[in-house]
Chains A and B, each alone.
Chain A
Amino acid sequence: AQTVTQSQPEMSVQEAETVTLSCTYDTSESNYYLFWYKQPPSRQMILVIRQEAYKQQNATENRFSVNFQKAAKSFSLKISDSQLGDTAMYFCAFMKHLNDMRFGAGTRLTVKP
């Protein structure tokens, strides 16, 4: 079974600064996908960024980027130029091809003005 571990229950960052959220996972699969989702107080899950395991290049989406270390089974999220609207729960997720999604416990991020 796949497990996803987020070791930081809470983090805070000053507005405009950079913060990195950690995620590790355990799997024996070679073909899979990794995601970071944001869940604001509305509780709507919002996709932040995704990574295909077979791609070595780290995914980037504007201020969001990942550091994907396949051998180490690590998938951290870096948020640059943090904004107040980034305050939310962040979940790391793992998905096997054509299968369901497994989530980490989440990291509550607070961006301080």
Chain B
Amino acid sequence: GAVVSQHPSWVICKSGTSVKIECRSLDFQATTMFWYRQFPKQSLMLMATSNEGSKATYEQGVEKDKFLINHASLTLSTLTVTSAHPEDSSFYICSANNVRDRGWYEQYFGPGTRLTVT
């Protein structure tokens, strides 16, 4: 159980266009989802926290108008990179919280989406 999927796994887009990445919790409901960005050979950096039915909370330095996050249901969060530029090329990973029987909030990670902007 506790599977998180991401779609697409790899996307190439032209500079100036927008691209949407989906994150789904397949077998559990996630009240909170997180979006991370990982550059090559670097660690995961939190971009934003997405709560179902409310506005996302962005980390300092992350442009909320550029990285639009929507968490319309308990199983789906989307990240839209608007007016993408080559410097937005990166690996984007989402994770979702799953309340476990002992009250654990454990995060389950999606497989990631590789974005290449040409």
A residues engaging B (CB < 8 A)?
Answer: 33, 37, 42-45, 47, 50, 91, 95, 97-98, 100-106
Contact residue among A45, A47, A102, A104 (Cβ-Cβ distance under 8 Å from B93):
A45
Contact residue among A44, A47, A91, A95 (Cβ-Cβ distance under 8 Å from B44):
A91
Contact residue among A44, A47, A100, A106 (Cβ-Cβ distance under 8 Å from B49):
A100
The 8 closest A-B pairs by CB, nearest first: A45-B109, A103-B43, A103-B44, A105-B43, A44-B111, A43-B112, A106-B43, A100-B46
Q: Is B106 an interface residue (CB 8 A)?
A: yes
Considering the chains assembled together, what is the distance between the CA atoms of A11 and B59 in angstroms? 31
Instruction: Digitize B62-106: 1 where CB-to-A-CB distance is under 8 Å, 0 elsewhere.
Output: 000000000000000000000000000001010100000000111
Considering the chains assembled together, what is the distance between the CA atoms of A100 and B105 in angstroms? 10
| A50, B106: Cβ atoms closer than 8 Å | yes
Instruction: Digitize B42-65: 1 where CB-to-A-CB distance is under 8 Å, 0 elsewhere.
Output: 111110010000000000000000
| A95, B43: Cβ atoms closer than 8 Å | no
Q: Is B15 an interface residue (CB 8 A)?
A: no
Considering the chains assembled together, what is the distance between the CA atoms of A66 and B25 in angstroms? 29
Which residues of B have CB within 8 Å of A50?
106
Most buried by B among A42, A50, A101: A101
| B43, A44: Cβ atoms closer than 8 Å | no
A37 and chain B: residue at smallest CB distance: B109
> Separation in Å of the B83 CB from the closest CB of chain A?
26
> Separation in Å of the B86 CB from the closest CB of chain A?
20
Ordered by A's residue number, 8 sampled pairs between the chains whose C-beta atoms are within 8 Å are A42-B111, A44-B111, A45-B44, A45-B93, A50-B106, A95-B107, A104-B43, A106-B42
Considering the chains assembled together, what is the distance between the CA atoms of A33 and B100 in angstroms? 14
Known contacts A43-B91, A45-B93, A100-B49: A91-B109 contact under CB 8 Å: no
A52 and chain B: residue at smallest CB distance: B104
> Separation in Å of the A27 CB from the closest CB of chain B?
16
Which residues of B have CB within 8 Å of A101?
34, 46, 95, 107
